[in-house]
Amino acid sequence: MLKDSLLTLVSALSKNIGRVIVGKEEAIHLALIALICRGHVLIEDVPGVGKTTMVAALARSLSCSFKRIQFTPDVMPSDITGFTMPSLTTGQMEFRPGAVMSQIVLADEINRTSPKTQSSLLEVMEERQVTVDGVTHPLPAPFMVLATQNPVDFVGTYPLPEAQMDRFFLRISMGYPTLEEEMDILERYTGRSVPLTTLQPVCTAEDVLAMQQAVGEVYTAPELRAYVAQLVAATRTHPLLTLGASPRGSIALLRASQGCALLSGRDYVLPEDVKFMAVPVLAHRLVLSPEARMKGQTADGILSSLLSSVPVPVRLK
- Which regions of the chain does DSSP assign to beta strands (E)? 41-44, 62-63, 66-70, 82-86, 93-97, 104-108, 129-132, 135-138, 144-149, 170-172, 203-204, 241-243, 287-288
Please answer whether residues 282 and 249 qualify as being in contact, where contact means their C-beta atoms are separated by less than 8 angstroms.
yes
- Report pLDDT for 4: 76
CA atoms within 13 A on the CB side of 48: 5
Gap between the Cα atoms of 132 and 98, Å rounded: 10
- Report pLDDT for 157: 81
In tens, the pLDDT along 37-48 reads: 999 999 999 888
Query: In a 10 Å sphere around its CB, with 0-12 CB exposed, 13-18 middle and 19+ buried, how is residue 158 labelled?
Result: middle
Ranges of residues in the chain whose predicted pLDDT is under 50: none
In tens, the pLDDT along 283-296 reads: 999 999 999 899 88
Give the H or E element holding residue 257.
Answer: helix 247-263
- Report pLDDT for 191: 75
Instruction: Please provide the distance, in angstroms rounded to a whole number, between the alpha carbons at the two ends of the chain.
Output: 25
pTM, rounded to two decimals: 0.93
- Report pLDDT for 170: 95
Please answer whether residues 100 and 127 qualify as being in contact, where contact means their C-beta atoms are separated by less than 8 angstroms.
no
